[in-house]
Amino acid sequence: MNAQIPMPTHILEGTKKGGREIIKDYMLQHGQWRTPYEIKDYLIGIGFHTNLSDAGITARLRDLRKDKYGKHEVKVRIRKGTLSREYVVREPVE
């Protein structure tokens, strides 16, 4: 039986939020370069149990560039000395 498992949600500050919103809030609040692994570690640390892979987290970050999700500036770079990618999210520039 292959039932669809709904995207987990977490209650933060009295508001029900999904993974994309939590990732956006975290990235905007800290404004620092983070790897998908560091983002997932944060999600687990706040009790947001997710099955998102690094690729899934990267996809949620790319979503933030879309009009539908606020047209945020999402930058990517390769972390020095490794092959891991880092991301940073900024508020949209009008």
Domain boundaries, the chain: 16-90
CATH of domain 16-90: 1.10.10.10
pLDDT tens for each residue of 17-64:
778 888 888 888 888 899 988 888 888 888 876 677 888 889 999 999
What pLDDT, on a 0 to 100 scale, did the predictor assign at position 1?
43
Q: Give pTM, 2 decimals.
A: 0.73
The confidence score (pLDDT) of residue 5 equals 38
Q: How far apart are CA 14 and CA 62, in angstroms?
A: 26
Q: Is 88 exposed, middle or buried (0-12, 13-18, 19+ CB in 10 A)?
A: middle
Q: What is the pLDDT of residues 10-26, one digit of tens each?
A: 444 445 677 888 888 88
